[in-house]
Amino acid sequence: NAGVTQTPKFQVLKTGQSMTLQCAQDMNHEYMSWYRQDPGMGLRLIHYSVGAGITDQGEVPNGYNVSRSTTEDFPLRLLSAAPSQTSVYFCASSYSSDYGYTFGSGTRLTVV
Amino acid sequence: KNQVEQSPQSLIILEGKNCTLQCNYTVSPFSNLRWYKQDTGRGPVSLTIMTFSENTKSNGRYTATLDADTKQSSLHITASQLSDSASYICVVHKRSNDYKLSFGAGTTVTVRA
């Protein structure tokens, strides 16, 4: 089925560890983005990409890196995990800014 | 202060009843407003997208309204079902060349038999 695939679904990290959250879409969408969702708050944009080789920061980029080598994949890297990064992370893609976004099912990350 | 405010924060309704969720926003200039449904443990799924010129849009039992003058939107759920239990998120897209969206915190709806 076409859509956005995120892996892993759950992850527990120790403070200071690094890891990569994977995101892949098969809809040939140019736009992809990463959000974090915390209790009582709206989704906040971490990083986004408008095409292969092009990335930019969102509103909460500190502690995260991204790259976009292909249209399909947009991984999110946590450089040195901190408890403040405990959250649910969503990847989304879209054909254009006027279209709805397709979200992945999320990665629940706990940093201890 | 969040540019998109939703109310109520949560509500409980009986199966078969109707309910209305509210969204007030300050995002300007405005491009479009979206309502998403998010089931527990899942990603948000788009219900409706409305542009500045649209006043109402329906998707099955979901009807969204928009008053761009007062910067208010509502989502009406008709004849609720147990499967409507979810969080409903209002999202506003600012008219610009980027894809940045402003998300509300959501309204959690619980439908009881």
Q: What is the CA radius of gyration of chain A?
A: 13
When CB atoms are compared, the residue of B45, B99, B106 closest to A97 is B99
Does A87 touch chain B if contact means CB atoms closer than 8 Å? no
Measured between alpha carbons, how far is B77 from B65 in angstroms, rounded to an integer?
12
In chain A, whose CA is at the least distance from the CA of B35? Answer: A100
CA angle A44, A1, A78 (to 5 degrees): 35
pLDDT (0 to 100) of residue A15: 98
CA angle B102, B105, B110 (to 5 degrees): 140
Eight-state DSSP code of residue A16: T
Q: Which chain A positions have a beta carbon within 8 Å of B93's beta carbon? A: 97
CA A103 to chain centre: 10
For A49-92, give the DSSP string.
Answer: EEETTEEEE-SS-TTEEE--SSSSB--EEESS--GGG-EEEEEE
Q: List A residues 18-37 in contact with B (Cβ-Cβ < 8 A).
A: 31, 33, 35
Q: In which band, very low, low, confident or very high, does the pLDDT at B96 lie, cut at 50, 70 and 90? A: confident
Q: What is the DSSP letter of A100?
A: P
- Give me the tens of pLDDT residue by residue for chain A, a chain 112 residues long: 679 999 999 999 999 999 999 999 999 999 999 999 998 888 999 999 999 999 999 999 999 999 999 999 999 999 999 999 999 999 999 988 778 899 999 999 999 9
Reply yes or no: is the peptide bond before residue A8 cis, omega within 30 of 0: yes
> Of B41, B43, B99, which has the smallest distance from its Cβ to A103's Cβ?
B43
Nearest chain B CA: its distance from A47 CA (Å): 10
Any A CB within 8 A of B61 CB: no
